[in-house]
Amino acid sequence: MPLGERGGWDKSESRYCGVETEFEDDVPRLLSSNISSGGFDFVVAPLMDPAYRPSLLEVGIDSSHVLPFAGSDLVLTPAQWSSHVVGKISSWIDLDSEDEILRRDSETTLKQEIAWAAHLSLQACLLPSPKGASCANYARCVNQIVQGLSNMQLWLRIPLLKSDDDSLDVDSDHVMDSWELWNSFRLICEHHSQLCLVLDILSTLPSANSIGRWFGEPVRAAIIHTDSFLTNARGYPCLSKRHQKLITGFFNHSVQMVISGKPVHGIPGATTGAAANHIDDNVNNMQRHPLRSYLDYVGYLYQRMEPLSEQDRIELGYRDFLQAPLQPLMDNLEAQTYETFEKDSVKYIQYQRAICKALLDRVPDGEASTLTTVLMVVGAGRGPLVRASLQAAEETGRKLKVYAVEKNPNAVVTLHSLVKLEGWENIVTIVSCDMRLWNAPEKADILVSELLGSFGDNELSPECLDGAQRFLKQDGISIPSSYTSFIQPITASKLYNDVKSHKDIVHFETAYVVKMHSIAKLAPSKPVFTFNHPDYSTEKSNQRYKKLQFVIPRDTGSAIVHGFAGYFDATLYKDVHLGIEPSMATPNMFSWFAIFFPLRKPICVQPGSPLEVHFWRCCGSSKVWYEWCVTSPCPSPIHNSNGRSYWVGL
């Protein structure tokens, strides 16, 4: 039974907890004792008798032998096999052994067991951890197999291990950083989307930075051994604060827990569920599962997590889903798009605050009743900024004359009905025109726009405001007054695989808007391009170039960079800002997700070595585009040269 519910919306895979078992001929009994009466949701069970070795079979000319699998496929229904059993491949196999007989036996057995698991329609098989630092033959064999699988995933077991000792012995076969083992295995298998991993959680954990890398990897489950549990004052199993934090992080990333090992806690008395302070009546009258108290504790950790906010729940379906950025100049937005953005009350509260401050600075109290401020909303859409401006005027007691300029004729229809409905006919003038082409009848005191994209300037705010600047008074105010883009290197296996699935360069040279979730942020973000408005400089150009250097913290260990996350931060007016850069993001605002710039070939960065990145913003007569590349630790090609794959049309 699932660990709990965090509300009726909770469909997370991490609700399910499994148990690692020994080989058992009687599979129905195995399921009955661990699932029906034990309370677990699935078993991780060996499929073949561990004593089996192909080379030990005496094969005669006409002899046939039955492989020693755990029961026939008929002992469970296909649905039971699929939902309750993860196949555990024999742990003795060693495909990189110096012993040729063992190596051949291992290869044969691996193929036989996975073929059987595929026949049973299992969702996944657990592959044993590589025996040493060299795993080329094992990875080659797995790569061959995974090419032929339809839906089944292969989960490679990797211990969560990283020594803090930097003096690595290159000749040693001892694994100092298990991420290196996973990375070499995954690179040999070309980032195959069905190759995932399972982490073995040990009693000691590496640094937080080192653990952080794994959240950008395809971790499907975490196996926690009974040895890793501490004992609380009442004699029950519990976990250290760091282990609790790690497991909560896994829960938030749809990682399932698996409990493994023999019970090492002598549970006092025979009451049920005391570890989690809840009683499960189903197990009162039957033999209690020896690992039940560990399961109860994991369930307790799951149930005490904070429920997701309403915003997080709305965004669940967008997590790690690639979307093409808007082209608001080339295309007219649809009503549904307008409606989504208009629901973002936090954004418009910030705009209203900025307009209030600008009006108070612009008009002294003594002239409030006589002086009328001319305010132009350029890119008015369906009117949310017009409403925010008029509310600011009311709040400050200032008189306002508003021009609402909008190029989308469909949105203009809505604007007219809004003005009529609200009785703003004497205050608001609607202009159906592209702001770059409009000849204004008078100059504005304040110019208000919401033309920002996820990367700040990627929806052509600079070009639009340059065109509109001619009808702003020399001492006029632009809201926003400036904005800066930021990037940071990330590990993002899922995003990389989703881009790779298109099998072309175009998708690797496109920037995507993404609600990023299963990523690892490898270094703090750094500013890229800044634009100020109004800009009266004589040598004005919207082309930009920036070279950036990131240093990944040494205690992280090696890491793989799949691309860059991009953000922005904008100053609306004076101290009123708006943005999505993680360290200073505006809380509870959902109009913008981050942007993702992929790399055609992921780049491995060693501890302490710098990552050097170059970004260009290029302008042509009909389009604006970005180009990017890495030059250190190893050079990458220039991405999106001449805007051949991705651009924003003027």
| Domain boundary residue, one of 431, 464, 479 | 479
Banded pLDDT at 137 (limits 50, 70, 90)? very high
> What's the whole-number mean pLDDT along residues 247-265?
95
Residue 494 and residue 347 share a domain: no
Would residue 167 count as lying in a domain? no
φ/ψ bin of 191: left (φ > 0), alpha (ψ from -120 to 50), beta (otherwise) = left
pLDDT at 365: 94
Residue 564 has pLDDT above 90, yes or no: yes
Q: Domain end: 479, 498, 521, which one?
A: 479
So what's the pLDDT on residue 139?
A: 98
Specify whether 570 is located in the same domain as 592: yes
The verdict on 114 and 71 lying in the same domain is yes
Q: What is the pTM of this model?
A: 0.92
Report the CATH number that the domain containing residue 411 is assigned in CATH. Answer: 3.40.50.150
Quick check: is 60 in a domain? no
Query: What end-to-end distance do the CA atoms of the chain give, in Å?
Result: 56
* pLDDT over 60 (residue 505): yes
Q: Are residues 468 and 543 in the same domain?
A: no
Average pLDDT for the chain: 91
**In CATH, what number is assigned to the domain containing residue 553?**
2.70.160.11
Give the mean pLDDT of 110-119. 95
509 and 442 within one domain: no
Question: Domain check: are 130 and 193 in the same one?
Answer: yes
Does some domain include residue 25?
A: yes
Peptide linkage before 237 cis (omega within 30 of 0): no
How much is the average pLDDT of 182-189? 96
What are the Cα distances from residue 270, in Å, to 3, 229, 262, 458?
Answer: 21, 20, 18, 63
Name the band, by pLDDT with cuts 50, 70 and 90, for residue 282: very low
Shared domain check, 474 and 403: yes
| Catalytic positions | 450, 459
Render pLDDT for 379-412 as a digit per residue (tens, 0 to 9).
999 999 999 999 999 999 999 999 999 999 999 9
Long-range contacts of 352-355 (CB under 8 A, 24+ apart): 352/388, 352/389, 352/391, 352/392, 352/395, 353/572, 353/576, 354/479, 354/480, 354/572, 354/573, 354/574, 354/576, 355/388, 355/389, 355/392, 355/393, 355/446, 355/448, 355/479, 355/573
pLDDT band of residue 2 (cuts 50, 70, 90) is confident
Answer with the one of 457, 479, 501 that is the final residue of a domain.
479
DSSP strands (E only) in 281-337: none
**pLDDT tens by residue, 582-609:** 999 999 998 999 999 999 999 999 988 8
Q: What is the mean pLDDT of residues 545-553?
A: 97
Within a domain: 286: no
Domain count, the chain: 3
Higher-scoring residue by pLDDT: 334, 643: 643
Mean pLDDT of 332-347: 88
Q: Where are the alpha helices (DSSP H) in 68-133?
A: 78-84, 100-119
Per the listing, tokens 């604006």 go with 624
- Tell which residue, 192, 109, 84, 107, has the closest CA to residue 148: 192
User: Is 406 annotated to bind ligand?
Assistant: yes
Q: Of all helices (H) and strands (E), which one includes residue 433?
A: none
Output the domain CATH number for residue 49.
Answer: 3.20.20.150
Domain assignment present for residue 365? The answer is yes
Closest CA to 432 of 451, 415, 454: 415
Phi, psi of 44 (to 5 degrees): -105, 100
| pLDDT at residue number 360 | 97
565/421 same-domain check: no
CB distance 45 to 18 below 8 Å: no
Cα-based torsion angle of the residue sequence 246, 183, 129, 169 in order, rounded to the nearest 10 degrees: -100
Q: pLDDT by residue (tens digit) across 191-237?
A: 999 999 999 999 999 999 999 999 999 999 999 999 999 999 999 99
CA distance 551 to 611: 6
Q: Is 626 annotated as a binding residue?
A: no
Q: Could you tell me what percent of the chain has a pLDDT over 70? A: 93
Q: What phi and psi values does residue 466 have, to the nearest 5 degrees?
A: -60, -40
Ligand-binding site membership of 445 (annotated): no
Check whether residue 493 and residue 634 sit in a common domain: yes
More confident of the two residues 5 and 79: 79
Q: What is the pLDDT of residue 56?
A: 84
Q: Is residue 4 part of a domain?
A: no
Which pLDDT tens digit goes with each residue over 422-437? 999 999 999 999 998 8
In a shared domain, residues 372 and 515: no
Query: Could you tell me where the DSSP H helices lie in 435-572?
Result: 461-468, 493-500, 505-508
On the CB side of 398, CA atoms within 13 Å amount to 27
Which helix (H) or strand (E) is 186 found in, with range? helix 178-188
Q: What confidence category does residue 272 fall into, taking pLDDT thresholds of 50, 70 and 90? A: very low
More confident residue, 91 or 539: 91
Per the model's pLDDT, the better-predicted residue between 68 and 562 turns out to be 562
Domain check: are 466 and 349 in the same one?
A: yes
Name the one residue in this structure whose structure tokens are 């651009």: 647
Mean pLDDT, residues 449-469: 94
Whether residue 381 is found in the same domain as residue 526: no
For strand 256-260 and strand 219-225, is the pairing parallel, antiparallel, or unpaired? Answer: parallel
pLDDT at res. 573:
97
Residue 170 lies in a domain: no
- CA angle 354–359–365, rounded 5-degree value: 135
241 belongs to an annotated ligand binding site: no
Q: Quick one: which of 180, 215, 188 has its CA closest to 605?
A: 180
Structure letter (DSSP) for residue 33: I
Least confident of 158-172, 526-540, 574-588: 158-172
What is the Cα–Cα distance from 381 to 274, expressed in whole angstroms?
58
CB half-sphere exposure, 607, CA atoms < 13 A: 17
- Is the predicted pLDDT of residue 533 greater than 60, yes or no? yes
Does the residue 487 lie in any domain? Answer: yes
Q: Which domain holds residue 587?
A: 483-649
Average pLDDT over residues 503-522: 97
Q: How far apart are CA 486 and CA 314, in angstroms?
A: 26
